[in-house]
Every structure is written in C-alpha cells, then in structure tokens.
Structure 1
Amino acid sequence: MDTSMPAINNRSEDVILVSIEKKSGVINGIWPKEARLHGVAGKRCIGKKILSFLIPASKAVFKNAVSKKNKQPAGILQLEFCSKKLPDATYDCSIWNVRKQPLVLMIHRSASQSSQSSQKSQSHMPQPDELIAWEKAEKLVLAAENKFKRILEKMTTPIAVYEVHEPKRFVFINPKFTEWFGYTIEDIPTIDRWGQQAYRDEVHFRTLQKGWQAELKLVYHGEKYESRPFESKVYCKDGTIKELEFTFTTDENLVFVNFNDITERNSFLRALHENEKKFRDISEQLPIPICVFSDAGETKFVNNAFVDTFGYTRDDIPTHKEWLNKAYPNENYRNVVNAARENAISRPNHKTRSTLICQFEVNCKDGSKKHIEFSASKGNKNLYLVANDITGKVKAEQELKQSHRQLRELSSYLENIREEERKHISREIHDELGQQLTLLKLDLLQMSKKLPPEAKEMIEKMRQADLLLAETMRSVRKIATQLRPSILDNLGLVSALEWQSREFEKNFGIRCIFESLLYEPQFTTKQSNALFRIYQEALTNIARHASATQVDAVLSMEENRIVLEIRDNGKGFNPNDMAHKKTLGLKGMQERALMIDGDFHIDSTPGKGTYIQISIPILITNHEISQQ
C-alpha cells in the first residue's frame, strides 16, 4: 500500500484519502501530500491515531463502522473532526476495507457544504460560478478515485472488482491479477466469461458459484464482515493451472475479490499426505510393532505387528494415557515408567539424542506379560514408539544366569569339599603318619644305643636311617602344611596370610610386606578359604612371571566391605593380551572371588607392575560368632 495517501483539507471542496492501520488505528499515509487533515499538515498526522481527530460521538461511529461485529452495509458516514487549527466541522466520509490491507478513509466534503448545496439546488437554478465550483469538486472526486485505483494497482496480491447486479461486469482488476492469470479486463468482461476462461468446466463453476453466491448474500446483508475462504483450481491464459484461495467483501454495488496462491502449499500438503501414506504402507509390512502419538496424546497410528504383539487396536488405546493405563495397570509400576521417561528427558545429553531406549514389562490384552525394549523418538508434532519383543531374550538370559549361579554353587560346594578333604588329609598325615614316624625315630634311637661300639657299620647305617627319617618327617610336615596350613584353622586368616608372606619371602627371596588394618576381623569359613587361596595364587604368579623385588599386601575395610589389595613392582603385562591366553591362575582367582559374592579387579601396565583387588561383603560379625 502506498504510504502517501490522502487526508482532510481545511477546504470544504477537497477530497482526501487517509490510510489507517487496522489494529492500531494509526495513520500511515495521506493523499494528496499537501492536504491538511482539518487544518493539520498531512506529514504531522502520520503516526497519530485517527481517533485523536474525532469528537467522542464520531469516535463511536467510526469504531462501529470498522468493527467486525457490525452487520450493516458500508455507506456514507458523517464524522465530526476537531483540531487546534480549525473549529469542529462535520464531513461526509466512506470507508474502503480490503482484506489484509490497511483501511482507507475517503473524506469527500463538508457535510454543511453538501447540505447548503442541496438547499440551493432546491431554491434556485445554479449560477455559472456555482457550476464551475461543482465541476471542480467532481474533478477532485474523480482524481481521488483514480488515485485510489493506482494504490490498489500497487498491491502485491491479485484484486478484482465486479458489479453486484447483472450483468456482473468487471469494473477493475489490478496488474498483479493480469500478471498471475494473464487475463486483462477485456478478456473477462463479466463473471460468466471468467468462468468460461478460468474453469472450463461449467458444472464445476456453477457449483462453486452457488456456494460463493450464498456467502455473498450474507456479506451483502451485513450478516458477515467478509466471506469465508474458497479454494479452487483456475486455468491461466497460457494454460497453466493455479490453486487459489479467494475471499471477498461487498458494498451496495461492487464485490471486491482478493486472491491468494496456494499451489505451493497444496503441493506440500499432497507430498506430506503421500509420505504419510508411504509410511503407513511400509509400517504395515514391517514385523516390528510401531505406534504413533500426537503432541496432544492422541493415538494416530498402530501397525499390524503392534496389534499382533500386544493385542490392542487403535480403538482400544485412543490416547497415550489409555495406553499407559492398559500396558502398566499397576499404578506403582506405571509411576516408575513415567519417572524413568522424565529422568531421561531431563538429562543434559537428551537434547543431542533424538531416541530414548528403555525396557519395561508390558501387560498384553490377553493378560500375558512381555518384556519389551522401546525406542521412542520425538518428531515435530508426533511421538514415534517402536517396540522390540525381547521376552525370549530375557528368559534366555535369566536361564543362563540361573545356570551360571547353579554352576558357581556347585563349584563352591566342590571347593568346600576339597578344602575339607585337604584338611582331613593334612590332619591324617600330621597326626597319624607324623606320630608313627616319631615313634619310628625313637625306636631307631633306642636300637642305636644298644649296639656295641665295635659294630661301626651298623651304627653308620642306623645314623643314615635316622637322617632319612628326619628328612621324611620334614617332607610330611611340608606336605601337610601345603594341603592345609593348620594356622588357618587355629589362628585365623590374618595369621595365615602373615605366615604365607614369610614363607614366600623365605622361599623366593622376594620381600613381602603384609599389613592388616582390621580390628579383630571375623570371616566365614568360605571367605577365609577363598581369600587365603587367592593370596597363595597371587604370590605364586608373582614368583613365576613378575620378576618383582617387592610385594605389598593390605587387608582393610571400605564401606562395609573387606578389601584385600596386592601390589608388586614387577614387569607387569597388558590385560588385553591375556584374553587370548589360558590364564588359569587369574581365572581361578576371579572364580574364587565370585563364589563368596566378591569383586575381583586386576590392573597392570607393562613396566609398572600389577595391582590386584578383592572386595567381599561382611557376612558375619563378632557378636554373631560369640553366639554360635
């Protein structure tokens, strides 16, 4: 819209146009530029509200005329203007209201002048001077109308104006109309000709025309401010087709039609609908359950696999809330599901991750329960839910865990039996065989005392037999100790670990420092056996492979768990290389730790030694032991 639009002059014969913003009522243009709005220069009026130039009564008249609630057809308004420049005066005005364009207030002339002219015409014949003034006023009105047409011609959307009554001739089309459709006003002199040229299907055109004629009747009688939008395909002069949306308003004589090209919009919508159809077709063929919810929580789509998996159709779960209620009937578990979703959304990295993956147990329509892994993706307007039935996988994992647990229990049972057998054999060797060897040594001593001094050969044999017997007794004690150190049963784990450290240092020449930070520690038999054997195996590995010069071991307690730490300064190794080797020593230590519900951790770097940590729960207290 041209911003240089007219306003009211102080001369009664002037015709001015005022462009006004619809929402704010602010003047944004006046024509002609030199015009004065009731004595106020046009350039000073721009930016001010039109209501500031009207007296209160005229303000109400103006507001009612431009209100959408006004059902009366537009006509001539008499508005009384006021300003500091001139006394208050009344002018005949009319309002042009085109959809999506500013209001145009046309101020024709002073109402008093119009009244006086009417009275004069009734009392006497007009004089030559009066005729000249009248012609001059008519020229001004014509100039204003031409200027208004030029303004409409500059609009960026097609506008057409035709007569309300037959033959319904077009009285105006702007250049944008010709640019879009190719038709000039000579090509389409009437509405019927427009229908023949633009629609080329008389039945379709008459049906469409019937609809807009009914709407036009409502607008014409003031029941509506403007028509509802109509959509239609239109043939252009060059044969191309445009998809249009058009609306219209009317006064007593003319219909004003405003066009909007929706070809691109409809093309996008068709592409969107086609993509949705493809999505549905593909989704129906997929064996993976898929469900789509809208932002408002409405269930928009479920595929066949979803119905086959859960039994729920779209009618069974019309909303996301209904799906949650049926899939998770237990309120507490449903709250857990919602809390898990909220926590995932609130995570810092959620914005960078478009898919949320979680696992829940779902109640199906037939009452069965299935373990489902869900992948939820948030689109612009929809929530896409993809389900993966992992019931078989979960069941297999549970069975595998149960099998592992049973094997570990069996292994623990066998290990306990072996420890008991070792203890029994160690005691038998120590008590029975050791006692018999001691008696045999005493017998040899007694026999050697009874030999005569001259039986030197026999005395020498008896001495060699005594030495052999003493060596045999040492071997028996060593074997008994290796099978089961009696100190482990008599003095407990800490003393046994200290003894093992001294034996290791004595046998291999590697300094071994053991320290216990526990105050009167108590262990179950299983824990004592496992920790002692792990410590033995760790020292044996260090002696064989580490090339270490020192070993440090600490027994302590952290967060209600007992921790045994073993560190050496040997050559170390790469743990990844051990994965492909039969490292039965390391696997044995790990398995012994698992048997007592412990955690086994090993850390090693080539050239920087090895660190082993075993952490076990405290299963027994001193008070419990004292009650046994």
Structure 2
Amino acid sequence: MICRADSKPFSNGMLISRITTSGRSRCAASTRAIPSAACPTTSNCTCSAARTPSRISAWSSPSNMRTFFIVLNCDSVLWETKFLPICAGGLLPKKIKRETQRSKRLQSPQKIWQSKTLLASIIDSSDDAIIGKTLEGIITSWNQSAQRIYGYTAEEVIGKSISILAPDDRHDEIPEILKKIARGERIQHFESVRVAKDGRRLKVALSVSPIRDPTGHIIGASAIARDLTSLDSTRQALQESESRAHALFQAATQGILVVAPNGRILMANPATEKLFGYTVAELEGESVERLLPERFRTGHVAHRKKFFGNPQTRAMGLGMDLQAHRKDGTEFYAEISLTYIPSPQGALAVAFVTDISKRRADEQDIRQQGRDLRMLAGKLMTAQDDERRRISRNLHDDLSQTLAYLAIDLGKLANRPSAAELTADVRSLQRRAAEAAETVRRISHELHPSILDDIGLVAALEQYCEEFQARSGIATHFTSTNVPESVGSDVSSSIYHIAQECLRNVAKHSKAEEVFVEIEAVRDVLRLSVKDHGVGLVARQSQPGSGIGIVTIQERAHLVNGRVSFQSKSGEGTEVNVEVPLLAAG
C-alpha cells in the first residue's frame, strides 16, 4: 500500500481496499498526525520541481528514514509504515520498490492468527509441562501438561509467582535460574524437585530458555519440565529386578550359560566354574563346544543350529543327557535343560547344567543290585528245584516203595484163611496205603517233574493238563505248534512251572469253566499262552495272596531272559503270555 503525505495527500488502490472511506480524505486524515518534518522528499529524484537543496541534504542518508505506525479505525489493524521519498513525477525510485516488495512478504492477520493457534495446539499437546514466566518469576502461560503434572489449572497460577512450585528446601533455586536466564544463559536437563498442588514431591527434569522480544531484549523465560517420578520408580524397580536376577544367577547351584546363536558363551555363573574348572573370564567369548568331549563337538553344532532354528523350552525332566569335558581333561555326565530369552540380536539360549555323575553311578549300582537280586533269586529257585528233586527222589525211592511193600504185605495177610476175621480191616489198610503211595508219587512229581527228562516238555504239559482237568473239573484244552523236541532243562522247568502256576490260579480264583493252554515256537521265540474266560485279574486283585503267583511267574521268566505280559478285563477273563528266546533255551 502506498500513501503520499504532503501538500497533496494520495493513497493507492491497495490502501483504498483496506478502508471504507475514500482514499484521499482518509489519507489526509491519517497523515495529519504526522509531523511536517517527517514528510520527506526524495534525495535521488531527478525532477526539477523537487530539487530543494535543504531537503536533499536532510534525506541524503537512508538512516534518516522514519518508521510510523498508523491505526486505521475501520478494522483496528496496526500497520507498519515507512515514509520514503518519491519524486514529483510520481515515479518510485529503486529504494521504494524494495520496500514495496518487502511489504508483500508481511503476513496477513489471518495467517498470523493461524500460526499462533497452531503453536498453541502444539504446546498444549506436549507431554511435558511448558511454562512461560517473566524475569521476576511471574507465570504468564501454562499448558495442559503443566496442569496434569502439578495439579493447578491455568486460572489458578497465571499471574502468580513460579515459587509456588518450589519445595521449602529449594526456594533459592528459582532466583538463581532466573538470573542466569537474564544473562542470556540456557539451563539444560537440570534435575530438581517440585511440589504439586496436593503436596506430592515430584522429581522433574528442567530445561529453561530465555524469551526475547523483536528487538532481541530478554523479557522472560520458557521452562519445559518433564516428570521423572514415575520414570524414576520404574527405573528403580527395574534396577531392583535386575539386582535380584543377578543375585539368583550368581547364587544358583546349577551351572548357567547364556549362549549366542553362533555358539559363543555370553555369560556364565560361578557354579559353572566349579563344574568345568574354567573361570568365568575364560568361558565368556569361548565356543560352547569347548565344554564337550572332542568326539561330540561336530554333532553338537548341528544340534545347536537346530535349536536356534526353532527355540523351545526343554524341561529338566526332558533334558539332554550328555557327557561334558572339564578343563583338566576329565569327563562327567551332565544333564542339560534348555530355554531361550529374546534380545535385540535375536533369541539367546540359556542352558542349565547339572552334574549327574553321582546319580548315574547310583543308578548303575541300583541296576547292578537288581541284576544281583535276580541272580540270587535264580540261584534260590535252582536250589529249590534241586531240593525238590532230592525230596522227590527220596519220596519216590524210599517212602513210596515202603508204602508199596506195606500194601503188598497187607494184601498177603488178607488172603490167609486163618485171618478171615481181619479181612475187612486189612483191606481198608491196603486201600489207604495205596492212596498214600499215590499221593507221594503225585507230590514227588510236582516237586520235580522227572517226566520232563523222560518224555519232554510238550508231552509233560499235555499230561499235566489232563490231570488238572481230572482234579479241578475245568475243561482244559492243550495245543502245541512247532516246538522243538530238545529244549534246555532250565527253560523246560521254567515253562512247566509257569504253566502249573497259571493253572493253579485259574482253579483258585478265575471261576472259569474252561481254560486254553498253547505252546508254540515262532522263529527264535518259544511262547506259552494260558487263557481263561473267568472273572479276570481286576476282580481278583482284592483276594488275599492273588499277587504272589504273578510275581513267581515273572521271576521264573526272568531266569531264562523271558518276559511276561498280562491281558485281563473284569468279567472277561485273563490271558498270560510268556516269551522265552530259543537261543537261551538251547
């Protein structure tokens, strides 16, 4: 906008568009407030009408330009106006052109309002408290975060001293800060304590900067405060958690290793030193394969890559049973439980290492004791069989023959005519002696079935099944398939006694009406099966002594490296299956 303020006032179209009255009259009215000495004529104009030496000398320097502010009452807008010289011919010299171009860059009131609104929105949306104050400490601005952190509304604090936020022990702090600001200094990341409206002490980080006016003078301070209270609590809780975790890591009796995907040991606890003999410093940075015997290292690399390809937690009960290598070259059995933890570099493996050498030795001792017990049991049963054989032989050779002779002699007495009156009694004694002889024969046979040596296992079993059926009244079905004629005496004795025990259990507990006994040879295995359709093992478990026979069957099978299986359902019967290697039988 251009306005000429001399004896002929004038305003251009841009000025006219800003006011409601005519340009000439408004311009004249506006410029009447300007001293006449302030209305210059050009110092570089070439027209003859303007060549007045006194005026030219007065405005020969650009520093003599005056700036005035004119208030146009039509829209109450404050305009900055520079009075510059023009020539009488109405032409604008270069100096005026430059001022005209600069005026175009000045923002309109609407743009200024938009900028201020945007800046206020940014300040209010900040998570930090932003507070404006004078150099005397009087609060001039207060954003939403300041209200949230300190509890005061803007209406409660604007116009009051900033010292209301300072605790009693820090009142001297604020004047010192304001002094530094007045000197043009800045306060960066200064941690202090402030007091909220409800009396809470807040730990804050302060950044304070000077506020300057358009001329560069410091007129106040802008403070940005970040609440560190919750952050400090979180940091403290994190530190405590890390301290506890570190203490557990250090105090653990298990060796703990943290391993990177490339196999390098990142961390090791003191228990690892005791396990392997290396110091923690020696272990960290070393390959984890160093802790394995050399013969296992290549294979372990593949296992490690597989784990990191799909890291999963493996519980201790499902851990890997490995051999580990100490610094002194000795080896020990170790159980490894694996898990993983996330990290910025990816998953890290955490290995819990336990020395199980003693446990392995104890387990080996227990297994050896089991073998010794089975051997003793076998020897005991062999001794029993030998004793039975001896008793059987004595019964057969001595008592049985004596009873037989007694029966013969009694028969002779009964046949004498002179003894007619004793005939009935003698006949009764003869019958009882015969029964006694048969009982002795049967007991002798059961103690040691010499029939095994005489006719073989299959024939002996078949004969026993017939006798069992006759005594018990239970229909007994016997079949044999591909059984060799020659089976070792130990196997024959074990199979025969197992069949006897099974049939005795059937007679005592099963309540079955029939039983099936089958013996067969399949490839290198001799199998015995005894099956009934009685009440089943489940129903018989509550009966006294029902478990002794099962134990006897199992022990006899173990003597010849055999195995026993039981299949039973309540009300459907029981099937006992025994398998013995024929190689052992030979």
Aligned partner of 1:530 in structure 2 is 494
**CA offset at residue 567 of structure 1?**
2.4
Q: CA deviation at 1:513?
A: 1.8
Matches within 5 A, 1:255-274: 268-274=234-240
User: 1:61 — aligned with what?
Assistant: none
1:402 maps to 368
Tell me the distance in 2 between the aligned counterparts of 1:336 and 1:297.
10
Give the match for residue 490 of structure 1: 454
Contact kept? 2:322, 2:334, Cα under 8 Å: yes
Establish whether residue 418 from structure 1 lines up as the match of residue 380 from structure 2: no
- How many angstroms apart in 2 are the aligned matches of 1:565 and 1:398? 34
- The structure with higher relative contact order (CA 8 Å, sep 6+) is 1
Q: Equivalent residue for 2:357? A: 391
Letter in 2 for 1:135: S
Cα deviation, 1:448-490, whole Å, max 9, x if unaligned, reads 99x8877757998987786566545534432332122233223
* Contact 1:289 1:304 (8 Å CA) reproduced: yes
What are the Cα deviations for residues 431-460 of structure 1, in whole angstroms up to 9, with x where unaligned?
A: 677778888988999x799x8877757998
The residue type paired with residue 583 of structure 1 is G
Deviations 1:571-623 (A, max 9, x none): 335389569968322222222222222223334444333332323334258xx
Q: 1:137 aligns with which of 105, 121, 138?
A: 105
Q: What is the Cα deviation at residue 405 of structure 1?
A: 0.8
Please show how residues 162-181 of structure 1 align to structure 2 within 5 Å.
Answer: none
* 1:11-410 equivalence runs, <5 A: 124-126=94-96, 134-139=102-107, 147=114, 150-155=117-122, 156-157=125-126, 233=191, 240-242=202-204, 268-293=234-259, 299-319=265-285, 322-326=287-291, 328-332=292-296, 335=299, 339=303, 357-381=319-343, 382-410=348-376
SS in 1 for 2:319: strand
User: 8 Å contact 1:560–1:618 — kept in the other structure?
Assistant: yes
Which structure 1 segments of 5+ residues have no match?
A: 1-120, 162-172, 189-195, 213-230, 247-253
Tell whether the 8 Å contact from 2:264 to 2:288 is kept in structure 1 after alignment. no
SS at match of 2:536: coil
User: Residues of 1 paired with 2:92 and 2:463: CA distance?
Assistant: 140
Aligned to 2:554: 590
Residues 566/583 of structure 1: CA separation in 2 closer, same or farther (3 Å cut): same
**Is 2:202–2:229's contact at 8 Å kept on the other side of the alignment?**
no
Separation in structure 2 between the aligned mates of residue 358 and residue 201 of structure 1, nearest angstrom = 68
Task: Tell me by how many angstroms 1:507 deviates.
Answer: 0.7
Please report the RMSD computed on the Cα atoms of aligned residues, expressed in angstroms.
5.6
Which residue does the alignment assign to 1:547? 511
* Residue of structure 1 equivalent to 2:30: none
Q: Could you tell me which amino acid in structure 1 is paired with residue 274 of structure 2?
A: D
Q: Which residue of 2 aligns with 1:35?
A: none
2: CA distance, partners of 1:448 / 1:344: 99
Distance 2:370 2:178 in 1: 80
Contact in 1 for aligned 2:483/2:521 (Cα 8 Å): no
**Contact 1:244/1:262 (CA < 8 Å) preserved in 2?**
no
Contact map agreement 1:603 1:611 (CA 8 A) in 2:
yes
SS in 2 for 1:515: strand
* Partner SS for 2:327: coil
Counterpart code for 1:587: V
- The answer to whether the 8 Å contact 1:152/1:174 transfers is no
* Secondary structure of 1:240's aligned partner: strand
- Find the aligned partners of 1:143 and 1:452 in 2 and give their Cα distance: 158
Shift of 1:125: 4.7
Give the Cα–Cα distance (whole angstroms) in 1 for the partners of residues 293 and 386 of structure 2: 52
Q: 1:506: how far off?
A: 0.9
Aligned length in residues: 451
Q: Is the 8 A contact 1:355 1:378 kept in 2?
A: no
Return the offset for 1:404.
1.9
Query: Does 1:570 find its partner at 2:526?
Result: no
Give the direction of change, closer, same or farther, for the CA distance of 1:354–1:510 in structure 2 (3 Å limit). closer
Cα distance change on mapping 1:201 and 1:604 into 2, 3 Å: farther
Whole-angstrom distance in 2 between the partners of 1:325 and 1:300: 14
Unaligned runs of 5+ in 2: 1-90, 131-140, 151-156, 163-172, 209-215, 217-222
Deviations 1:507-564 (A, max 9, x none): 1101122333445476433222222111111211221222221222333467854433
Shift of the 582–287 alpha-carbon distance from structure 1 to 2, 3 Å rule, reads farther
SS at match of 1:548: coil
* Residues 601 and 269 (structure 1), Cα distance of their counterparts in 2 relative to 1, 3 Å cut: farther
Relative to structure 1, is the Cα distance of residues 359 and 559 closer, same or farther in structure 2, using a 3 angstrom cutoff? farther
Counterparts of 2:431 and 2:127 in 1: how far apart (Å)?
126
Residue by residue, what CA displacement relative to the aligned partner does 1:276-300 show, whole Å, maximum 9, x if unpaired?
Answer: 2112224434444444446675545
Contact persistence 2:563–2:579 (CA under 8 A): yes
Matched-pair contact (CA < 8 Å) for 1:153–1:176: no
Tell me: CA distance 1:481–1:122, structure 2 relative to 1, closer, same or farther (3 Å): farther
1:571 alignment partner, SS class: coil
How far did 1:409 drift?
1.0
TM-score (norm 1): 0.55
CA–CA distance in 1 between the matches of 2:399 and 2:190?
113
TM-score, length basis structure 2: 0.58
CA distance, structure 1, for counterparts of residue 521 and residue 304 of structure 2: 34
Counterpart contact for 1:376–1:385, Cα < 8 Å: yes
Q: Secondary structure at the match of 2:296?
A: helix
Corresponding letter in the other structure for 2:459: S
CA distances 1:384-405 after superposition (whole Å, capped 9, x unpaired): 4334444333322221221221
Task: Look up the SS of the partner of 1:312 in the other structure.
Answer: coil
**Which residue in the other structure is 1:97 paired with?**
none
1:438–1:574 distance in 2 versus 1, CA, 3 Å: closer
Q: Which whole-Å deviations, capped at 9, do the CAs of 1:84-131 have from their partners, x for residues lacking one?
A: xxxxxxxxxxxxxxxxxxxxxxxxxxxxxxxxxxxxx9974537xx86
CA distance in 2 between partners of 1:454 and 1:579 (Å) = 58
Note if contact 2:257-2:268 (Cα within 8 Å) is conserved in structure 1: yes
Alignment identity in percent? 24
Which whole-Å CA distance do the structure 1 matches of 2:467 and 2:248 have between them? 73
